[in-house]
Structure 1
């Protein structure tokens, strides 16, 4: 093996191709030509004397040797990055970029403002914010932190449960003036519902009464949307009734543009969690952002603080 040809640049290129599964995607990400990516990979493989990647017309995947080498590269480059940060730490504030993925509506209404405040405090830290409701592969997409609503399946990521997001039924005053106000859960079946097409079971509303009794009511309607901000707009426009997170509509309720329906009945809350790539937890700028978000999200209306805790292993 010619050690002089095993450079950090080539290791990083190999890792990104292994994670993205595409040479062209990595070339665009790094701002270089695809031929340069191909050359760096070829030179790394020649220096090591093994094939790291298997290439087809559709996808690039790791060989067995590539998987072993990738795991070692993660550790090596993490140590290199941390060593650099420790050296820079003697000069002052932390720097670099943190990549974060966030549930779309929550990101627009809340997380983006938190990030603005974070950058005001740490002006040398860059943020790459991606808004999506899809459950992406953090490592493959090069993301450090993800904020997600809903149950989290078993994951190799470090998990922090930030709290439980409370929900309520709401509608616009104009809608209620025309269609009437539901008095008991069964009344919902006669109303227009605004449903989320990307949420399983949105055709049924489950409520718990003040006596603890559970009510499952059919919930129909002519409008289905796949984005929280679209549901918010539809509610304000008087298109119907919808279950909504408090953080999504709290300002509209306070302003009188929406009203709470069946306030004596409660909807199941939804967990709000943070996923962190384990190999990135030791990096100072990522630790700072994690701690900042945990503090700010814990103070949000509608997030049950009593549930703030690290999940097992978190």
Structure 2
């Protein structure tokens, strides 16, 4: 593999040519005169040609130096333009941000949150990917993801935005037909509607307010990989389901569903904002992350 060009030395050479002085170039770049001299010498050694005639009073370009001075100036200009563009982007964020979110939460909350953000940052476009699958953020080229649930260990950076409570609920029609469970163990005799993307969908775990723990294997007429698809059957009285609070707010705003086993709670889950490793992010990503933190930390306050 060939060595990368010494862009710093090229840029310093261009500045020396522009100002016709090692001292003036050093002052302009806020470095020592020795640093400037070493950079030019390093470039000459790398190229195998002399670029400048030096004397105590006079500095002039060699023939090779004249031929290369224009290219050095182009490299310096391109670098300055790139830095100016980056600073401008930081002051005026623009470009595309790719964000992943769970399907139901994304439709209900993320989609509703974006209009205010887009109004504030008209030069930013958001590519919103909704899926209840745990997407590969790095492999999929995403800048960030919102995730609900316990997070596995990984190299990703995660910020907890707040808790999401889950409630065991059923319709009054179901309770009239099948009765009300008094203990989690009773659920084995009930029709359970199951969400397939729970951390362990084959098992529901509960903890009593006095510390007792219980576990049951739910079974029933419907299992779905999307909570929205499960809600009509739940409301129609076809079973019992473990439902996050934001789904109840959306599908049962009047509170017609009945909470079961109120002294028992399912393991806590939370909303997280997950990003790839690394500190530096484009301004367009940073402002969206800050907006999401402000928006959902208020809606999901820390416990």
TM-score bucket (shorter structure): 0.5 to 0.7
Partner of 1:143, secondary structure, is coil
Quick one: distance in 2 between partners of 1:215 and 1:137? 33
> Residue in 2 aligned with 1:220?
219
Residues 37-116 of structure 1 aligned to structure 2 (within 5 Å): 84-88=85-89, 93-116=92-115
Alpha-carbon shift at residue 147 of structure 1 (Å)? 1.0
The farther-off stretch of 270-279 and 257-266 is: 270-279
Evaluate the alpha carbon distance shift between residue 88 and residue 148 of structure 1 in structure 2; reply closer, same or farther with a 3 A threshold.
closer
State whether residues 185 and 262 of structure 1, in contact with CA within 8 Å, keep that contact through their aligned partners in structure 2.
Answer: yes
Sort the Cα spacing of 1:236 and 1:117 in 2 relative to 1 into closer, same or farther, 3 A. farther
Instruction: Tell me if the contact between 1:253 and 1:259 (Cα under 8 Å) persists in the aligned partners.
Output: no
In structure 2, the partner of 1:244 is 243
| 1:189 is aligned to 2:176 | no
Q: Secondary structure at the match of 1:255?
A: coil
Q: Secondary structure at the match of 2:180?
A: coil
1:230-289: CA deviations, max 9, x gaps?
122321222210111111213444413322112221111113222113457432121111
1:165 corresponds in structure 2 to 164
CA distance in 2, matches of 1:94, 1:305: 29
Change in Cα spacing, 1:114 to 1:80, as seen in structure 2 (3 Å) is: farther
Cα distance in 2, alignment partners of residues 282 and 194 from structure 1: 42
- The aligned runs of 1:219-298 (5 Å cut-off) are 219-279=218-278, 281-298=280-297
Label 1:80 to 1:273 Cα distance change in 2 as closer, same or farther (>3 A): farther
- Aligned equivalents of 2:193, 2:201: Cα separation in 1: 9
Distance 2:275 2:134 in 1: 13
Paired residue secondary structure (2:142): coil
On the 8 A contact 1:82/1:283 being kept in 2, the answer is no
SS at match of 1:99: strand
Residue 155 of structure 1: CA displacement?
2.6
Secondary structure of the 2:139 match is helix
Counterpart of 1:118? 117
Deviation of the 1:100 alpha carbon: 0.2
Kindly provide the CA deviation profile for residues 174-201 of structure 1, in whole angstroms up to 9, marking residues without a partner as x.
2223222223333322211001233353
Query: In the TM superposition, what whole-angstrom CA distance separates every residue of 1:107-140 from its partner, at most 9, and x where no partner exists?
Result: 1111111122211222221110001122222232
Give the 3 Å change call, closer, same or farther, for CA 140–173 of structure 1 in structure 2: same
Segments of 5+ residues of structure 1 without an aligned counterpart are 5-78, 307-314
Rounded to whole Å, the distance in 2 between the matches of 1:263 and 1:120 is: 42
Q: Could you say what secondary structure the match of 1:140 adopts? A: coil
For 2:274, what is the secondary structure of its paired residue?
strand
Q: Check whether the contact 2:205–2:215 (CA below 8 A) recurs between aligned residues.
A: yes
Cα gap change, 1:144 to 1:280, in 2 (>3 Å): farther
Matched, 1:305 2:302: yes
Q: How far apart in 2 are the matches of 1:238 and 1:134?
A: 28
User: Could you say what secondary structure the match of 1:138 adopts?
Assistant: coil
- Give the secondary-structure state (helix, strand or coil) at the position aligned to 2:176: helix
Residues 158 and 186 (structure 1 numbering): CA distance in 2 closer, same or farther, change over 3 Å? closer
Q: Which runs of 5+ in 2 are unaligned?
A: 6-79
Distance in 1, Cα, partners of 2:231 & 2:221: 16
Q: Which residue of 1 aligns with 2:73?
A: none
Instruction: Give the deviation of 1:81 after TM superposition.
Output: 7.7
- Cα offset for 1:82? 7.4
- Give secondary structure in 2 for the equivalent of 1:127: strand
State the aligned residue count: 228
